[in-house]
Structure 1
Amino acid sequence: MIRPHKDLLRENFSGRAEPVLSLLPRSMKTHMVPLSRFQQPASPDT
């Protein structure tokens, strides 16, 4: 019943990646940087 994570990630990155990253601490953001590259840069927090 468990679906591949790729499908879930696709849906999440559709429009949830930004808000999710905003909630994560900067330390996590650093690890999420590569993931952020998948979507267009909206507001750089550097």
Structure 2
Amino acid sequence: AQPSEIVSLEIRAALHAIEDIVGVTESEDILGRIFSKFCIGK
């Protein structure tokens, strides 16, 4: 891997760690929680 790719991966991992600490959630995570608790049919 190129040095810039390695730095990019490390920054992305750091961002995810910070998001976990401060409680930032992705919209997909929220939707997953909603649909896992409720049966929504057509």
Q: Output the TM-score relative to the length of structure 1.
A: 0.31
Considering fraction of residues, name the structure with more helix: 2
Q: Output the TM-score relative to the length of structure 2.
A: 0.33
Greater length-normalized contact order (CA 8 Å, ≥ 6 residues apart)? 1
